[in-house]
Structure 1
Amino acid sequence: MRALKLYGKQDLRFEEAPEPVIERGSDVIVKVKAVGVCGSDISRYAKLGPYVSGTIFGHEFSGEVAEVGGEVKHVKVGDRVAGCPAICCGQCESCQKGEPARCESLHVIGAFHPGAYAEYVKLPAENVIPIPDSVDFDTAALVEPSAVVVHGFYKTNIQPGATVAVVGSGNIGLLAVQWAKIFGARKVFAIDVEGERLKVARDVGADEWINPQEKAAHEQIMELTDGRGVDLAVESAGSPLTSAQVFALPRKGGEVLFLGIPYADVSIERFYFERIVRNELTVLGSWNAVSAPFPGREWSTSIHYMSRGHIRVNPLVSHRLPLQEGPHTFDDIVNGKGSYRKVLFYPEAK
């Protein structure tokens, strides 16, 4: 089969790979229909996060069941599915407590196990989730990032009528805008320095869009909320700068939810740090997309709202490409060539 393999820093190759085979009764082999590029893929490609040289890359995908082991009951050949890429040990203290997102050895396919930038991928049966006909394969390929976002929202105290600021209008931020509305937010503020991204944020439901290059984001938020601040601020940009500035956005007693991962040290000016203490903020970190019973309600809930059109992914997708264009696409993204948002690859010609 054809696949994208990561061999080293910015060394991604499109080449042949052996097709996966059933080895355990719980194995499921999925024919990949659509697979997305995640921000973590870009980081691993550019900076070499955890990986094994030559491993098939990628983890956000949907497809059709091609083969199942003898113990698999909930899906059959031909079923349309999404794939949860998280692999947990099941044995550590966190797993035993029903907290798989905190697993001591949690990783996703595409690092130590063959991933989904390929014609076929193999997963344990519990990682394979059926999707209804009302959810197309492109949408289902984004169930995983949607589950990442709602995993974080479940940690918050957001109530209907709340105000929410989402920092960063990348793919995670655009999904966060939509989840904020689903959770009952009365007003959602999208914050980004790129006008085109803010336009997409507006398209998916943001009520106000703020460019901090015009005036500091917290000053604009305070003007728009009569000096109160928002109930919940979501950091989804993963920027060291915004990871500090986000603390100035919530009201007294408000919350900050971190979904983004800054790949550099975060220096916090006194003004921003004091907001944590003086405003008695609750600061929440969120990691991955799984809970108990595995893979968790994040997955079924994402599929539910996607099937009803409340989570829309088409506005997020900027490029739909054949898999063989992977190497130069990753090179373009890392080197700032072109205007990329969410990229979907197709192992089959469309």
Structure 2
Amino acid sequence: MKNKQIVFTAPWKVELLVDELSYNPPVLRPGQALVKKRYTLISPGTELACLSGGEGWFSMPGIPGYAAVSEVVALGEETAGIAVGDLIFHYGKHCLYEVVPTSGVFLKAPANMDLRLIPFTRLATVAMTAIRVSQIELGDTIAVTGLGLVGNMASQLAKLQGANVIGIDLSEERLKLAGQCGLYLGLSAADGDVVSQIRKATSGVGVSTLIEATGVPKVAVDSLPMIAQFGELIFLGSPRGEYTVNVTDVFNYSHLIGKGAITFKGAHEWRYPLEPDNYVKHSLVRNSNVVLELISNNRLVIEPLISHIMKPEEAAVAYEGLRLHKDRYHGVLFDWSE
């Protein structure tokens, strides 16, 4: 049984390796499944950071990826409710076959759902964390900086929460895509003073919540004057890169009544437990089920976000496109059909 694997072998080097699946087929322990991928989705921010060699937790050579829809090929014991042939959403890597646990996020795909849309569930649950930790209420005006896949879906989810959402991005293409997905107002970060535009759009008040989805520390600091008194700044994008600033000025602005009184919140997806817990309202399993239902009912718009469906053999081209041509490459799926 041949297994194809997309491997980061060195910084900025992507290869497709073909190998024999271990134990051919592998011996499955209780609670394990052998799955065959249908589609996997690239998470641009995380995977490009890994490909750069800048993520300490990702070692090379390594197989990236964490968003997949797959067919169950074989099952170990203790897998009640799952059958061979079932289509599953799970946190799968970019490889044709994979042995995965059937606990945690291992969820049956909704009947008749377009399989291409299912892997986007992972990035939508990443985005959902920002909404979960926020104080967004019906009628609020909020802003999202960075309208890549995660920022776009955070905008959509905030709208479903009842907010009027202002999206900010350098890319006119991303602003256009966000408009197709229902954005209330899009502002180009390249067009002069965005702070003034936010103030004008909010009658001088500012936004009650700002979701920072770029992961660029300077963007977060520059966005502080957009936020209303007693508002909140939510860090959705993982901060990366170096940035030097006088943090006393940042803290004073955010702390003092009359200037800010702004709350900072971290919104990494893993702040919630993987599986349901009697003492915690949210979990990654619950969030995934909610998102699957939203996509299935066309309440979360995914189709415009798909820019490319590529074969694994084109992996190097896909990552190069995401790195250098961000206006044309955004939602890139690998099609594992043979």
Is this a same-fold pair by TM over 0.5? yes
TM-score (norm 1): 0.85
Aligned 1:93-172 pairs, distance under 5 A: 116-126=93-103, 127-172=105-150
CA distance in 2, matches of 1:176, 1:165: 10
The question of 1:246 aligning with 2:215 is answered no
Counterpart of 2:20 in 1: which secondary structure? coil
Displacement of 1:346 in angstroms is 1.0
> What is the aligned partner in structure 1 of residue 280 from structure 2?
none
CA distance in 2, matches of 1:283, 1:70: 46
> What is the aligned partner in structure 2 of residue 42 from structure 1?
48
Displacement of 1:335 in angstroms is 4.1
Tell me if the contact between 2:173 and 2:327 (Cα under 8 Å) persists in the aligned partners.
no
Distance 1:183 1:117, change over 3 A: same
Displacement of 1:336 in angstroms is 4.3
Aligned 1:1-350 pairs, distance under 5 A: 1-19=3-21, 21-38=26-43, 39-49=45-55, 50-83=57-90, 85=91, 116-126=93-103, 127-185=105-163, 187-268=164-245, 273-278=251-256, 279-289=260-270, 290-291=272-273, 292-293=275-276, 295-336=284-325, 339-349=328-338
Distance 1:48 1:264, change over 3 A: closer
Return 5+ residue gaps in structure 1 as ranges: 86-114
TM-score (norm 2): 0.88
Distance 1:53 1:335, change over 3 A: same
Tell me if the contact between 2:89 and 2:118 (Cα under 8 Å) persists in the aligned partners.
yes
Return 5+ residue gaps in structure 2 as ranges: 277-282
Distance 1:46 1:341, change over 3 A: same
Deviation per residue, 1:57-114 (Å, 9 max, x gap): 221111222221111113211112110x3xxxxxxxxxxxxxxxxxxxxxxxxxxxxx
Letter in 1 for 2:291: S
> What is the aligned partner in structure 1 of residue 279 from structure 2?
none
Tell me if the contact between 2:28 and 2:75 (Cα under 8 Å) persists in the aligned partners.
no
CA distance in 1, matches of 2:113, 2:93: 19
Displacement of 1:338 in angstroms is 7.3
Greater alpha carbon shift after TM alignment, 191-200 vs 244-253 = 244-253
Displacement of 1:142 in angstroms is 0.9
Deviation per residue, 1:162-206 (Å, 9 max, x gap): 111010111111101110111111x11010111111011111111
Tell me if the contact between 1:8 and 1:48 (Cα under 8 Å) persists in the aligned partners.
no
Counterpart of 1:55 in 2: which secondary structure? coil
Letter in 1 for 2:87: R
Tell me if the contact between 1:247 and 1:273 (Cα under 8 Å) persists in the aligned partners.
no
User: Alpha carbon RMSD of aligned pairs, Å?
Assistant: 2.0
Greater alpha carbon shift after TM alignment, 172-181 vs 240-249 = 240-249
Tell me if the contact between 2:310 and 2:318 (Cα under 8 Å) persists in the aligned partners.
no
Letter in 1 for 2:109: I
Distance 1:267 1:135, change over 3 A: farther
Instruction: Report sequence identity in percent.
Output: 23
Tell me if the contact between 1:332 and 1:338 (Cα under 8 Å) persists in the aligned partners.
no
Greater alpha carbon shift after TM alignment, 53-62 vs 220-229 = 53-62
CA distance in 2, matches of 1:135, 1:274: 50
Higher relative contact order (CA 8 A, sep 6+): 1
CA distance in 1, matches of 2:253, 2:182: 28
CA distance in 1, matches of 2:197, 2:250: 15
Displacement of 1:138 in angstroms is 1.4
Tell me if the contact between 1:30 and 1:64 (Cα under 8 Å) persists in the aligned partners.
yes
